Structure 1
Amino acid sequence: MPLVPDPTSTLEDAPIHEPQRTLVAVGVNHALHDGYTDLLYVLLPVWQAEFALGYAALALLRSLYNGALAALQMPSTYLAERLGARTVLVYGTLLSASGYALAGASGGLIGLCAALTLGGAGSSTQHPLASAVIARTYGESARGPLGTYNFTGDLGKASVPPLVGFLLTMTDWRSALWVIAGLGVVAALAVGRLLPRDRKSRREKQDQALQVAPIASGTQTGRAGFRLLVTIGILDNAARPAFLIYLPFLLQEKGAGLTTVGFALSLVFLGGALGKAVCGQLGERLGVTRTVVLTETGTAAAILAVIALPLAPVLVVLPLLGVMLNGTSSVLYGTVPELAPGGQVETAFAVFYTWTLGGSALAAPLIFGRLGDVVGPNWAVVAAAATALAAVPIMLILSAYLGTMASAPKR
C-alpha cells in the first residue's frame, strides 16, 4: 500500500491534556468570525439607502466577503502547514478586524467592496483549521465538541448583529464598524493567549508526515458519499443567506425599524445557536438522515410562515426557524470526518467549507439577488424555502452511504 502525506501532522497540534483550553480558544474565534459575517445583514438596508443599491448589488456586497472566505479555505490550510494553525488563526482574525476598520474608513462604495473582501480573506482561516484542530484533539469523540464549536459561532451571530443595530441608533455605521474592529483585535489576542502552542519540532512533524492511507474512506463509495454531503451542504448554505438577505426588508414591510430588525436577527441566531446543540443531539438519537429531513422540511415551512404572518407572530416564529435553519449544518459538519476521502480530515473540512460557502456566495448575487430584483423579496424567499426542500431527496440517497449507526435511530 502506498505511503501518502498526512496533513493532520502538518497543522499545529493541540496537546491532548488541554482539550478544554483548545475548545475555548477556537470557540472565541468562531463567535467573532460568524458575528462578523452576519452583521452584514443589519447593514444592508443602511448601505441600500446610502448608495442607492438594488437587491442584486446588496447580495454582491455580502458575496464579496463570503466569496473571499470560501475561496481561500484551501490556501489557508496550506499556509497552516508552514506556519502552524495557531499563527494563521491569530493573523486571520487580525486581518478580518482590519477589513472592518477599513470599511469604516472607506469614502465610497469601491473602498467598501475592497474592505469587505479583505475581511472575508481573514475569516477564511478559521473554519477548516479550527475544525481540524478539534477533530484531532478529541479523535473519535469529536462530534460533540464540533457541535459545541458550531454553537459558539451562533453565539457570535446572536450578539454581534444586535450590537451593531444598537450602535446604529447612537452613531453612524462607519463608527460602529470601528468598534467592531476593536473587538476583533481583542479576540485575536485571546486566541493567541489561549490556543496551545505547537510542542513538536518541524523534524518530528516531517517524520510523522508519512503514514499508511486508510482503506475504507478512500474507496469510490466513500468519495461518492462525501460528494453527496457537500451537495447537501451547498443547498443548506444557499437557503440560509437567501432568506436572511431579505428578512430585514420583509420586516420593514411589516413596520419594523432598524432596532427591531437587529432584535429579530438576534432571535434567529439565538435559535440557531440552540439548534446547533439540539440538532447535534437529535442526530445522535434519530440519526443523520431523519434529523436533516426534519430540519430542512421545517425550515421551508417556517420561511413560508414568515412571509404570511404579521410582525408580532413572525417574531415568535423566528427562534424556531433559527433552530432548523442553522441546526442542519451541525449535523453535516459532524459527518465530515466519517466520510472524509482517504481519512484526510483537514483536507475534507477545507473542501467542504470551500464548496458550501462558495456555493452560497455565488447563489446569493447571481440567483437570489437577481430574483429579488425581478419578482420581489417575497418570491425570492419562497425560492429559498424550495432550496431547503431540495436537500431532502439528496439526503435520502446519502443515507445509503452512511453506517447504520449514523442513519438509524439509537436506542
Structure 2
Amino acid sequence: MTALNDPLAAASPIGTDQTLRRRSLFAACGAHAVHDGLTDLIYVLLPIWQGQFGLSLAQVGLLRGAYSGTIAGLQLLASRAARRWGRERLLVGGTALAGLAYLLVGQAGGLGVLLVALMLGGLGASAQHPLASSLVTDSHEAGGGVKQALSQYNFAGDIGKTLIPGLVGLLLTVISWRASATLIGLLGISAAVLLWWLIPSQAVAALHAGKNPKAAAGEGSVTGLRALLATGTLDSAVRMGFLTFLPFLLQGKGAGSAGIGLALMLLFIGGAFGKLLCGYLGARIGMMKTVWLTETTTAVLIVLAVFLPQFALMALLPLLGLALNGTSSVLYGAVPELAGAGKREQAFALFYTGTIGAGALAPVLFGRLGDATGIPAAVMTLAAMLLLTVPLAWVVERAMDR
C-alpha cells in the first residue's frame, strides 16, 4: 500500500500498535457496511426491475440468487487467491468491482446485463467476509479483544444494511433508479479508494504482531471447526427460515403491511444490537454459555411467537431479534481459535460459505415444510432444530479448551 510503505511506517502514526488496530478495524467495518448494504439494496430495486423490464417472479429470483449465490460459491476461492495476490489487493479490488457492478446496473437495458452485473458484484463481494474478518483477527490477536472487535465488525454490517437501502429509498423519490444505482456505484468505488489508503500492509501488520509475545500460534482443531460450522449453519438456517415465516404469522394475527414493516424493523434493530452485545458477552462468560443462553432464549421466543397475540408479539420482537442474531457474533469469534495459524482466511471462507448457503436454502426448504404442515408447525420445527446447537456448542468449547 503506497500510504504505508515500510520505510515510512516506523515514523508515521501507524507505527503504534493501537493505531494499527484502529485502522484495521475501521477498514474492516467500513468494508462490511458497504458490501452488506450493496447486497441488501437489491431488495429495493427488484420490484422496480420487475416493472421496468417485465420480469417474471422466476427471473426476479434468478437476479437475487445470482448475487448471493456468487458470494457463497466463491469465498473459498477468494481466500486462496489472497495468499497469492495479497489480502489488501483483493479486498480493495473486490470493493471496487462491487461498485463497478452498480455502475453497470445503472446502464442495464434488460435481464442479461442485470444478470452479468449482479454476478460481477457477487464476485467482488465474495472477498469481503473472509478477508475482512481475518484482518480484524490478525490485527487484534496480539493485544487481545478479538471477539469484541469481531462483534463490532458484525454490527457494522447491519448498519450498512439499514443505511444504504434506506438512502436509495429516499433517492428514488427525487431521481431515477438508474441515477441512484450510479451514485451507489460511485460510493463503492470511493470506499475502495479509502480502503486502499486505510488498510495496513501485511508487512507492517506482521512487524507489529511480531513485537508482541501475546500473539498465539494456535494449532487449531478440525473437529471443533466442523462442529462450529454445523452450529453456524443451523443457526443461519433457522434465522432465515423464521424471517420467511414471520410476515405470515403476523398476517394471521391481523397485521397489515404497515404492521409487518414495523415488526421487521423492530426485529432488525434488536438483531443489530444483539451482534454487538453478544460478542462482548461471549468474551466474558465463554462461548458455550453464551450460545446456550441465546439459542434456548431464541427457541422459547419462537414458540411464544406462534401463540402470542399481535401486540404482545410486536413488543417481544426486539428481544427476539437480539437473541436470534446475537449468536452469530459469538460463533465468528471462535473461528480464529479453531482455525490455527495461517488458515484463518480459509476457515472464515468455509464458515461464511456454510452460513450464507444455509440462509439461501432455508426459505425454500422450510417453505415446502410450511406448505405441507402449516406455518405454526413449521415454526415449531425451527425452534426444535435450534436446540441441536446446544450439544454442538459443547463440542466446540471442548476443542477450544484443549
Q: Do structure 1's residue 352 and structure 2's residue 327 form an aligned pair?
A: no
Paired residues, number? 374
- 1:154 is aligned, of 158, 173, 191, to 158
Q: Secondary structure at the match of 2:200?
A: coil
Cα pair distance change 1:332/1:181, threshold 3 Å: same
Identify which range, 72-81 or 121-130, moves more after superposition: 72-81
Aligned to 1:126: 128
CA contact (8 A) 2:294 2:324 kept: yes
User: Hey, what's the Cα distance between the residues in 1 that align with 2:47 and 2:377?
Assistant: 19
User: 1:3-402 counterparts in 2 under 5 A?
Assistant: 16=17, 17-41=19-43, 51-53=55-57, 61-140=63-142, 141=144, 142-167=146-171, 176-199=180-203, 217=219, 222-247=221-246, 254-257=255-258, 264-306=263-305, 313-341=312-340, 344-365=343-364, 367-371=365-369, 381-402=379-400
User: Hey, what's the Cα distance between the residues in 2 that align with 1:171 and 1:264?
Assistant: 29
User: Hey, what's the Cα distance between the residues in 2 that align with 1:144 and 1:100?
Assistant: 33
Q: CA deviation at 1:305?
A: 4.6
User: Hey, what's the Cα distance between the residues in 2 that align with 1:361 and 1:375?
Assistant: 21
Gaps of 5+ in 1: 1-13, 209-213, 405-411
Cα pair distance change 1:77/1:397, threshold 3 Å: closer
User: Hey, what's the Cα distance between the residues in 1 that align with 2:389 and 2:234?
Assistant: 6
User: Hey, what's the Cα distance between the residues in 2 that align with 1:31 and 1:225?
Assistant: 29
Cα pair distance change 1:215/1:152, threshold 3 Å: closer
Q: Secondary structure at the match of 1:282?
A: helix
Q: CA RMSD in A?
A: 3.6
Cα pair distance change 1:303/1:393, threshold 3 Å: same
User: Hey, what's the Cα distance between the residues in 1 that align with 2:262 and 2:80?
Assistant: 39
Cα pair distance change 1:238/1:134, threshold 3 Å: same
Identify which range, 26-35 or 97-106, moves more after superposition: 97-106
User: Hey, what's the Cα distance between the residues in 2 that align with 1:313 and 1:104?
Assistant: 43
User: Hey, what's the Cα distance between the residues in 1 that align with 2:267 and 2:116?
Assistant: 29
Q: CA deviation at 1:174?
A: 5.3
Identify which range, 382-391 or 369-378, moves more after superposition: 369-378
Cα pair distance change 1:138/1:397, threshold 3 Å: closer
User: Hey, what's the Cα distance between the residues in 2 that align with 1:301 and 1:101?
Assistant: 45
Q: CA deviation at 1:256?
A: 1.9
With normalisation by structure 2, the TM-score equals 0.78
Cα pair distance change 1:122/1:51, threshold 3 Å: same
Task: Provide Cα deviations, 1:252-300, integer angstroms capped at 9, x if missing partner.
Answer: 772124xx76655443333222112211122123321121122122223
User: Hey, what's the Cα distance between the residues in 1 that align with 2:261 and 2:187?
Assistant: 19
Give 1:185's aligned amino acid.
Answer: I
Q: CA deviation at 1:348?
A: 1.9
Q: Secondary structure at the match of 2:399?
A: coil
User: Hey, what's the Cα distance between the residues in 2 that align with 1:261 and 1:340?
Assistant: 40
User: Hey, what's the Cα distance between the residues in 2 that align with 1:183 and 1:72?
Assistant: 23
CA contact (8 A) 1:158 1:267 kept: no
Give 2:158's aligned amino acid.
Answer: D
CA contact (8 A) 1:161 1:265 kept: no
Cα pair distance change 1:37/1:381, threshold 3 Å: farther
Q: CA deviation at 1:31?
A: 0.9
Give 1:255's aligned amino acid.
Answer: G
Give 2:326's aligned amino acid.
Answer: G
Q: CA deviation at 1:93?
A: 1.2
Give 1:186's aligned amino acid.
Answer: S
CA contact (8 A) 2:147 2:283 kept: no
User: Hey, what's the Cα distance between the residues in 1 that align with 2:60 and 2:296?
Assistant: 28
Give 2:344's aligned amino acid.
Answer: V
Aligned to 2:8: none
Give 2:390's aligned amino acid.
Answer: V
Gaps of 5+ in 2: 1-13, 211-215
CA contact (8 A) 1:158 1:268 kept: no
User: Hey, what's the Cα distance between the residues in 2 that align with 1:116 and 1:73?
Assistant: 16
CA contact (8 A) 1:42 1:261 kept: no
Q: CA deviation at 1:185?
A: 2.6
Q: CA deviation at 1:129?
A: 0.9
Cα pair distance change 1:371/1:171, threshold 3 Å: farther
Aligned to 1:3: none
Q: Secondary structure at the match of 1:401?
A: helix
CA contact (8 A) 2:245 2:375 kept: yes
Identify which range, 80-89 or 35-44, moves more after superposition: 35-44
Cα pair distance change 1:98/1:199, threshold 3 Å: same
User: Hey, what's the Cα distance between the residues in 1 that align with 2:368 and 2:61?
Assistant: 9
